[in-house]
Structure formats: C-alpha cells, structure tokens
Amino acid sequence: MTMSCDDTGTSGVQRFEVLTGAGKRRDWPPEVKASIVAESYSGMESVSAVARRHDLDPSQLFTWRRQLREQMEVHGFVMPEAAKPEPTFVPAVVDAMPDPDPAPKNKLVRRRRRSKARTVELEVDGITVKIARGADAGTILAVITALRETR
C-alpha cells in the first residue's frame, strides 16, 4: 500500500497505526462530571488518583474543580476549605540504658584477612612501577619525582 504525502508518493508506508477506543475529546454528561468532582473532594485519595481511575488527565479534573468553585462563587456559595489537622507531637519515651557489659571473656575476635598482594601500579611512558602496601610516602614521592624528570 502506498500513500502520497510530502514525498509525493515515492516511498511506501513504513508504519501504519490504528487507534481504537475513545479519543482525547470526550463529552462528559454533567452528572458524571459532578460525580467525579465530588469524588475528588472526598479526601479519600488524591485528585490525580481519581483522575487516573476515570481515564482523565489530572489537569482536566483540576479544571473541572476550578469551574465548579467559580460557578458556586457566582451564585454566592463559598467552598469550605479542607480542615487541616493540627500539628501534634508524639511524646518522647526515654528508657534507661543498661550499663554496658565489659568485653565478654570468651568472645573470639575475628580479624580481617588482608591480601599482601595489594599493590599500586604506575605506568609512565612504558615504565611500570609497582608500589607495595606499606611503602614509605617519601619513597613513593621520590619515585614519582624521578619519573617526571626523565620525561
């Protein structure tokens, strides 16, 4: 199947997509809108969750809510604001800490085994220098300085 587009029909269709179901524009009956808006004011879940459940974009539901508030204000009604709970503090409970026991006598002390093979390798212009663990910092600095001078 070929379709003419901007390319004057010289190439075939690469992708063909069929959209099914309701499109973006839907006509909501006023009763359904009112029901969804009332549900969004119930406080049981967020406005976005209500919108998702009804396959609405959250911004659409917020718009419906704003329109309802504006209509009510025109007729002299004011929407009550949701009561915010007063902040409360949780009482602190302080338990007396037991005296720390001295180190147990029979407890085995495990020491971490460290590999003696850990080294740092520096390679500069084809010269490799291996620095073993525990090397003196002055020696390492002297080696690096010597490598710099030979470059």
What mean pLDDT is reported for the chain? Answer: 77
Instruction: Please check whether residue 25 lies inside any domain of the structure.
Output: no
| CA atoms of 49 and 40, how far apart (whole Å) | 9
The DSSP 8-state label assigned to residue 143 in this structure reads H
- Per-residue pLDDT, 149: 76
As for how many domains the chain has, the answer is 2
Tokens linked to 97: 């800490």
Q: Is the pTM of this model over 0.85?
A: no
Residue ranges making up the domain that contains 56: 30-74
Instruction: Please check whether residue 146 lies inside any domain of the structure.
Output: yes
Winning range, highest mean pLDDT, from 20-24, 66-70, 112-116, 126-130: 66-70
> What is the secondary structure of 56-116 as a DSSP string?
--HHHHHHHHHHHHHHHHHTT--PPPPPPPPP--PPP--PPPPPPPPPPSSPPPP-----T
Instruction: Please check whether residue 50 lies inside any domain of the structure.
Output: yes
Winning range, highest mean pLDDT, from 6-15, 49-58, 132-141: 49-58
